[in-house]
Structure 1
Amino acid sequence: MTAPSPDPARARGGDGDPPYLRIAADIRRQIATGALRPGDRVPSARQITRDWGVAVATATKALAALRQAGLTTVVPGVGTVVSGAPTAPPTARGLTRAEIVTVATNLADAEGFAAVSPRRVAAELGIATATLRRLVPSEDDLILHMIDAAFASAPLPPNPPAGWRLRLEIAGRRLWTLFRRHPWLAPTLSLTRPQPSTNGAKYLEWVLSALDGTPLSLHDRMYVHLMLFGYVRGLATTLEPEAQAERETGITGNEWMDAGFGDAALPPDVPFFEQLVAMEDFELDVDRLFDFGLSRLLDGLAVFITRTPRSAPRP
């Protein structure tokens, strides 16, 4: 169901309430009168921005106010919808940590990692924050369980194929798929201070064992893992900011570039860049970029493995 068109003047009116509260009140009235029913999508932040003539931040605050009031909820892949009929809130006895982690992950997938906090997750579950903290004591603990659940959702093959290159390619592609599924995951993971995730450690073990039969020492194998992980993670850190930019602007990165890089003036003496801007068939496809980079990385590693003697000393 589509919500009735609002009157932008009400958002800018002079009734004393901030614009975001007036927008929230209008949507609340639509819910109360049945114009918006349980399960119906409410206007997105982009739609509110367009229809009410307000800033994205104002639209976001209006939607947050509705969620905090328990009138709406976020459904991954759908958006913000009207909540169903109120039910008895779950008790600490009936709640599981897996349920908490699932809600937190869904929030991060739909709204970005900044939306996740123990207080927000507790509100989505309809419980007190103190109740949630009995199962997930801290925000760091919640993040760790989110990371672990994400890796558990994409296990590597228990019986890997022969050959180090194919195994590493599988590992890299599995990691890229995981980051595409959860754009918040890549920037959340630390390269230099890795979180002690059980399933993350299993991924590391799989990659290290993929180099069995090569002359590489355990020391070198670890550097191969870090190189592969660093490449995939580095490229994937662009995914969440891009998703946020699309939510706020309503256009993709390629559409932004086609529009002249936000109407920015080109710097002088950049002939190749000027030719690139003028090209009509160039599209920045991150999946294609990932494929290109992964192949070149494995090409270089093949040369290194070939040139490494079996008795190579540890550096």
Structure 2
Amino acid sequence: MRIVASIRRRIEDGELVPGDRVPSTREIARDWGVALATATKALTTLRLEGLVEARPRIGTVVAATTPARPPRASSRPAPAAERELTLDRIVRTAVDMADAEGLAALSMRGVAARLGVAAMSPYRYVPSKEDLVLLMAEAAFGEQGYPADAPQEWRPRVELGARTLWALYRRHPWLAQLGSLTRPLLVPNLMVHGEWMLSALDGHGLDPVTLFDIHVLLYSHVQGLAVHLEWEAHAAASTGQTDDQWMDSRAPALRSLAESGRFPTFTKVVGSFGDGYDMQLDALFEFGLRALLDGLTSIVDAADGTGAAGTAKSGRR
């Protein structure tokens, strides 16, 4: 309650105005020396008072309109419907927390605090945080599927699959952190997207190894770019700087590299940007996808017998 009172006072005094970020759960835990669950409970209380709101990938900010006199929590028991705990509520709450604060801020106690239940209550439904994360991934990957009347040609189908995955990673950036290419995340709803991509490439004469290599290559393009979504959000939260502000603070180091004379091509290219290089992950995703598919077209066409190489096979292995 002291944490709540401190942040409430900063809002009421105008130190924090609508749209300003309030301290995150990690910052509160660090600055006040409390557990993440306590920090989460403080932010939850402020949300119930209407003073703050959670915005995905930004964090918790001062609400656009705040009540003149924030209502205090009632001492009466919550209605039975609010007290009812289900696995679906636990998973959805955990997804919302990871979307707003990042996966590192997620804890079982924090989820319990957000739900307003005892710290050990979620364990009746899910045995550990690791199990909860798998359920979160299953729910998130299941939010978007594929139409029955999708194009039959392999390239439009692959494009649809890649863009669907990218949209899900955009919506839930923490998803890209959960599995590597060598140790993939094995949940049914992610397999749905893999099945779509494999079926798009199947039937074109590709040997199984080449077909699966192409699938892995395409997935690595999507996931490899998507990991930076969560990294950037975490860096912005921990440093308080946007990526542009961070780059501006590194201008002397960049200038020193350019003026050293050791990297003439780098200096020429970077010096031609004018206002600087604007890295846009969405544009890079589309550019890379197009380049990959342009290169893969000759391989698929050759295997299919429609390209200039006839029925040539990869023969790589």
Report TM bin, short chain: 0.7 to 0.9
2:301 maps to 1:306: yes
Name which of 67, 75, 81 aligns with 2:54.
Answer: 75
Contact 2:37 2:110 in 1 (8 A): no
Q: Which residue identity is paired with 1:295? A: R
Partners of 1:226 and 1:90 lie apart in 2 by 48
Residues 22 and 102 of structure 1: is their aligned pair in 2 closer, same or farther, counting only changes over 3 Å?
closer
Name which of 4, 11, 22 aligns with 1:44.
Answer: 22
Give 3-state SS (helix, strand or coil) of 1:79's partner.
strand
Partners of 2:71 and 2:216 lie apart in 1 by 44
Give the equivalent residue in structure 1 for 2:112.
122
Partners of 2:236 and 2:32 lie apart in 1 by 15
Name which of 257, 266, 273 aligns with 1:273.
Answer: 266
Contact 2:22 2:61 in 1 (8 A): yes
What runs of 5+ residues in structure 2 fail to find an aligned partner?
48-52, 63-69, 306-310
Give the equivalent residue in structure 2 for 1:284.
279
Contact 1:164 1:211 in 2 (8 A): yes
Contact 1:45 1:59 in 2 (8 A): no
Give the equivalent residue in structure 2 for 1:9.
none
Give the equivalent residue in structure 2 for 1:163.
153
Partners of 2:181 and 2:281 lie apart in 1 by 21
Residues 151 and 219 of structure 1: is their aligned pair in 2 closer, same or farther, counting only changes over 3 Å?
same
Partners of 1:104 and 1:83 lie apart in 2 by 26
Report the TM-score, using the length of structure 2 for normalisation: 0.75
Q: Residue deviations 1:271-290, cap 9 Å, x none?
A: 23223443224311111111
Partners of 1:94 and 1:215 lie apart in 2 by 54
Report the TM-score, using the length of structure 1 for normalisation: 0.75
The alpha carbon displacement at 1:244 in A equals 1.9
Q: Which residue identity is paired with 2:60? A: G
Q: CA RMSD in A?
A: 3.7
Bigger Cα displacement from structure 2, 88-97 vs 167-176: 88-97
Identical amino acids, percent of aligned pairs:
40
Give the equivalent residue in structure 1 for 2:7.
27
Name which of 271, 295, 300 aligns with 2:290.
Answer: 295
Name which of 203, 209, 214 aligns with 2:193.
Answer: 203
Partners of 1:137 and 1:185 lie apart in 2 by 20
Residues 126 and 286 of structure 1: is their aligned pair in 2 closer, same or farther, counting only changes over 3 Å?
same
How many residue pairs get aligned? The number is 282
The alpha carbon displacement at 1:248 in A equals 3.5
Give the equivalent residue in structure 1 for 2:222.
232
Q: Matches of residues 97-116 of structure 1 in structure 2 within 5 Å?
A: 97-116=87-106
Contact 2:154 2:201 in 1 (8 A): yes
The alpha carbon displacement at 1:292 in A equals 1.0
Contact 1:211 1:221 in 2 (8 A): yes
Residues 215 and 83 of structure 1: is their aligned pair in 2 closer, same or farther, counting only changes over 3 Å?
farther
